[in-house]
Amino acid sequence: MFNNLTDKLESAFKNIKGEGRINELNIANTLKDIRRALIDADVNYKIAKEFTDKVKEKAVGEKVLNAISPGQLMVKIVKDELASLMGGTQAAFSISGKPAIILIAGLQGSGKTTLSGKLAYFLKNKKGKNPLLVAADVYRPAAINQLHVLGEQVGVDVYSESDNKDVVLIAQNAIAEAKKLNKNVVIIDTAGRLAIDEEMMTEVAHIKEAVNPSEILFVVDSMTGQDAVNTAKAFNDRLDFTGVVLTKLDGDTRGGAALSIKYTVEKPIKFVSNGEKMEMLDEFYPERMAQRILGMGDITSLVEKAQENYDEEQAKKLEKKIRRNQFDFQDFLEQLQQIKKMGNLKDIMGMIPGMGKAIKDVDIKDDAFKGIEAIIKSMTPFERANPDIITQSRRQRLARGSGKDISEINALMKQFDQMRQMMKNMNKMPIPKMPGFKR
Amino acid sequence: MKSCSEHTGTAFVFLKYSITIYSYSMGLFGKIFGKKEKESLEKGMEKTRTGFLSKITKAIAGKSTVDEEVLDELETALIAADVGLDTTIHIINQVEKRVKEDKYVSTSELNTLLKDEIAQLLVDHSKADEPASIPKPYVILVVGVNGVGKTTTIGKLAYQFKQAGKSVMLGAADTFRAAAVDQLTIWSERAGVPIIKQPMGSDPAAVAFDAAKSAVAKDIDVLLIDTAGRLQNKQHLMDELSKIKRSITKVIPGAPHEVMLVLDGSTGQNALEQARQFTAATDVSALVITKLDGTAKGGVVLAIAHQFQIPVKYIGVGEKIDELLSFDKKAFVDTLFE
Ligand SMILES: Nc1nc2c(ncn2[C@@H]2O[C@H](COP(=O)(O)OP(=O)(O)OP(=O)(O)O)[C@@H](O)[C@H]2O)c(=O)[nH]1
Ligand SMILES: [Mg+2]
């Protein structure tokens, strides 16, 4: 609905140019827009209201400076407030106790078993621990098997009892076993349950009492709608959990549930799960989440993805070339190949701010760059390095060489020119501050 | 750890790089953009119903006429049920229009009005439910994001069809998620129906192909095919789904006869995106909304019906094999405002 809240706010504020300050009157519509953007992102409607009230308090009276437009200022206030609400005190992940016990709980299908496997992987490989996984979901068909398979994948032992339905006993036996095996962390995967299922909620509360966990993680699907607050509250009332894990963040949900939950239970979001592979577990970055909720794209993740796939040397070389306005076709070709390495083209473009919605309905084929590559590949090295010398006759040759129409060659040349022009302009800009970057 | 300046340096390069790609692709896809722009319903349901209904009832309690405030509260109730902004606004506008036309509308008439409007959203789009002659085997492909309840729904459906005297077969085309085949196998045992499976990691399209062949050979009435959960923004996984579908068509022209998208009733607005993308990949023909035994309101049904004209066929109201109900639009709306 809101492709870009920033754009929207920009235009909403056009009329207050010259007023100098944000006031109750000129902010009213804007607040409505913000509230709607939040609701559209699945933030609970009550929280969205309280949030905009807070933003109003912060914004009214703010001086509108020349350097920054009122729209941008508002976005900044909103984003900062969102981030600070979702972040706050970053409680450490507690793995004390001999062994330390971690209890995993949540609704059906929220991703508990996968998370259990990921945690085991994380603790083993990143924290040097020796964990034991415990299968305490005795209800869902093949749940025990699922955990065994994941345990095998990450090289962590799994404790289960096939004939026992008493999960409290299973948990206790598992801890005894862990002690025997010298395990220092025990991760207990439990069955999914509805917050209103009295019997099942009592069961998980009993497990808690029996094993005294140092961490109780509430696992919640990031696509959850307005109901997130009810569920989080019910689980928190029963378990007083220590942290929240947001799952399936590799999807395209805006993830407003993150704000709703944090706001309601005031418990830190300790991890985010963003993929089906065992190593895909991440810290929670409030700033990124704020941008995501506001539909501002996820430039930080994009940058990270680039860093993962980018060769530092090559990046420096490229940066130099761009700075000197020497970006040529060879560089362009290399870039295209880099992008392809980064994965699915549409996914990547989706991370570019403002692009997300625009490409939703467009069928971007992964071989979208094939034609361009073919044209560049039929250039001589000299032509690639000197785009300006590619005259009409050379273009004719390129068309024949690549099997393309001359108009396509011309279009490419024109676009390449525009691109270089844009880079030139960018060079005049100061280095932008990257959101969420550790400094 | 890399140093700060290096981070910023790389970031800067990448920023340019992304803008470059961005601008380039805008040029590249410009034409496309332009074109596109132009263009015993009992236990479980009760909770859904009472939640929804009590909100609305509360909204109009103590009022005799529909005024601005009543509409506001109605709006809130719809939003709180995950109906979403667009559809909520649509419903409110419709109600408002009628209120204006009729000058005086009592709050009890509002119930009827609302019922009308919501029924229209749901009923208008329902296609002819059952074809005159049901093809054999009737193939149902079940798709959806991770953890929504696909496998469970298949178990429940198998049981229902079997109870109705049909011969049923399952195809285990989720060869990806750990122990997925084991899970479906247990359901096949519970329902007492055969299952076609291959080892984990096999090509899911090949499993679907096999299952279709086998269903034809064994003269099966209904073939239900399970697929791995996948997020709708992962193009390669959506392509895989299209491929699974094509492999079924290869064996049985016209199949799958039904592509069921399973949605989790507690999902928010992303469900719309799921409906959109899964439809693009597999031509979804019906929806199943699960977990309506929880506190979530399932209002997403309205939003999806409003935008995509896909009928809801079943709702899941528990984890047991018989906890799947046919979605009865009339009953749904009727009971919503009883
Ligand atoms: N309460 C309730 N739970 C349900 C319902 N339908 C499914 N579930 C539960 O939701 C969880 C996930 O269900 P699955 O059937 O494994 O979901 P799936 O879509 O096949 O999952 P993946 O194959 O992992 O993507 C299980 O614990 C089910 O028991 C329902 O209607 N109500
Ligand atoms: Mg499944």
Q: Which of A27, A53, A86 is the C-terminal boundary of a domain?
A: A86
Task: Select from B289, B266, B298, B269 the least CA-distant residue to B53.
Answer: B298
Do A77 and A104 have their domain in common? no
Neighbouring residues of B24: CB distance < 8 A, sequence distance ≥ 6: A415, A419
Do A157 and A264 have their domain in common? yes
Question: Looking at the complex, does the CB of residue A88 fall below 8 Å from at least one CB of chain B?
Answer: no
Do A143 and A240 have their domain in common? yes
Name the residue of chain A whose CA is nearest to B292's CA: A194
What confidence score (pLDDT) does residue B17 get? 53
Please give, one letter per residue, the 3-state secondary structure of A206-232: HHHHHHCCCEEEEEEECCECCCHHHHH
Helix, coil or strand: residue B71: helix
Helical axes B150-163 vs B180-191, angle rounded to 10° = 20
Confidence band for B8, pLDDT divided at 50, 70 and 90: very low
- Locate B204 and state its tokens: 């899911």
CA distance B303 to chain A (A): 12
Q: Is residue A437 part of a domain?
A: no
What confidence score (pLDDT) does residue B297 get? 77
Q: Is residue A435 part of a domain?
A: no
What confidence score (pLDDT) does residue A351 get? 61
Do A105 and A249 have their domain in common? yes
What confidence score (pLDDT) does residue B331 get? 63
Contact A350 B85 (CB under 8 A): no
Query: Residues A422-428: contacts with CB within 8 Å, 24+ apart?
Result: A422/B19, A422/B20, A422/B23, A423/A322, A423/A325, A423/A327, A423/B16, A423/B20, A424/A325, A426/A322, A426/B16, A426/B19, A427/A322, A427/A323, A427/A325
Phi first, then psi, for residue B218 (nearest 5°) are -90, 5
Do A234 and A129 have their domain in common? yes
Q: Is residue A434 part of a domain?
A: no
Element of type H or E holding A175: helix A167-180
Q: Is residue A404 part of a domain?
A: yes
Query: Across the A/B interface, how many CB contacts are shorter than 8 Å?
Result: 246
DSSP B121-174: HHHHTPPPSS-SS--SSEEEEEE-STTSSHHHHHHHHHHHHHHTT--EEEEEE-
Confidence band for B235, pLDDT divided at 50, 70 and 90: confident
What confidence score (pLDDT) does residue B334 get? 59
Q: Is residue A40 part of a domain?
A: yes
Average pLDDT, chain B: 80
Helix, coil or strand: residue B113: helix
Q: How far is CA B174 from CA A114, A138, A280, B223, in A?
A: 16, 22, 21, 15
Instruction: Tell me whether residue B164 is exposed, middle or buried, using C-beta atoms within 10 angstroms of its C-beta: 0 to 12, 13 to 18, 19 or more.
Output: exposed
CATH architecture label of B46-124: Up-down Bundle (1.20)
Question: Looking at the complex, does the CB of residue A432 fall below 8 Å from at least one CB of chain B?
Answer: yes
What confidence score (pLDDT) does residue A347 get? 64
Q: Which among A36, A319, A361 has CB closest to B13?
A: A319
Instruction: Return the CATH number of the domain spanning residue range B138-332.
Output: 3.40.50.300
What confidence score (pLDDT) does residue A247 get? 97
CA distance B233 to chain A (A): 6
Contact B266 A221 (CB under 8 A): yes
Contact B145 A226 (CB under 8 A): no
Average pLDDT over residues B95-109: 76
- Among A223-232, B240-249, B328-337, the minimum mean pLDDT is found in B328-337
Do A134 and A192 have their domain in common? yes
Confidence band for B37, pLDDT divided at 50, 70 and 90: very low
Query: For atom 6 of ligand 1, which residue has the closest CA?
Result: B149
CATH value at residue A393: 1.10.260.30
Q: Which among B8, B33, B187 has CB closest to A362?
A: B33
Given a cut of 60, is residue B130 above it in pLDDT? no
Given a cut of 80, is residue B103 above it in pLDDT? no
CATH value at residue A285: 3.40.50.300
pLDDT tens-digit profile of B291-325?
988 888 788 888 999 899 899 999 999 999 999 99
In angstroms, what is the span from residue A373 Cα to ligand 2's centroid? 40
Name the β-bridge partners of A220: A246
* ipTM > 0.85 for the complex: no
Place of tokens 């992964």: A366
What confidence score (pLDDT) does residue B232 get? 93
Task: Select from A106, A108, A107, A131 the least CA-distant residue to A118.
Answer: A131
| DSSP designation for A89 | S
Question: Looking at the complex, does the CB of residue A306 fall below 8 Å from at least one CB of chain B?
Answer: yes
Structural domain total, chain A: 3
Do A72 and A215 have their domain in common? no
Report residues of chain A scoring pLDDT below 50.
1-3, 354, 356-357, 430-439
Average pLDDT over residues B235-242: 93
CATH value at residue A38: 1.20.120.140
What confidence score (pLDDT) does residue B40 get? 31
Contact A226 B270 (CB under 8 A): no
Do A76 and A118 have their domain in common? no
For chain B, give every domain's residue range.
46-124, 138-332
HSE, side-chain direction, 13 A CA sphere, residue A417: 9
Do A271 and A307 have their domain in common? no
What confidence score (pLDDT) does residue B56 get? 54
- Model-level pTM? 0.78
Note down the domain range covering A190: 100-293
In angstroms, what is the span from residue A147 Cα to ligand 2's centroid? 14
Q: How far apart are CA A297 and CA A349, in angstroms?
A: 10
What confidence score (pLDDT) does residue A261 get? 97
Given a cut of 50, is residue B41 above it in pLDDT? no
CA distance A19 to chain B (A): 32
Confidence band for B113, pLDDT divided at 50, 70 and 90: confident
Task: Select from B199, B262, B259 the least CA-distant residue to B224.
Answer: B259
Neighbouring residues of A5: CB distance < 8 A, sequence distance ≥ 6: A33, A34, A37, A75, A78, A294, A295, A296
What confidence score (pLDDT) does residue A327 get? 84
Q: Which of A293, A324, A357 is the C-terminal boundary of a domain?
A: A293
Q: Which of A232, A267, A293 is the C-terminal boundary of a domain?
A: A293
Q: Which among A352, A360, A364 has CB closest to B18?
A: A352
What confidence score (pLDDT) does residue A167 get? 97
Atom of ligand 1 nearest to the CA of B174: 23
Q: Answer for the pair A328, A384: CB distance below 8 angstroms, yes or no.
A: yes
Our CA dihedral for A244, A245, A250, A254, rounded to 10 degrees, sits at -10
| DSSP designation for A63 | B
The reply to whether B138-332 shares the fold of B46-124 is no
Q: Is residue A439 part of a domain?
A: no
pLDDT tens-digit profile of A61-104?
776 655 556 676 777 888 889 999 998 766 688 888 889 999 99
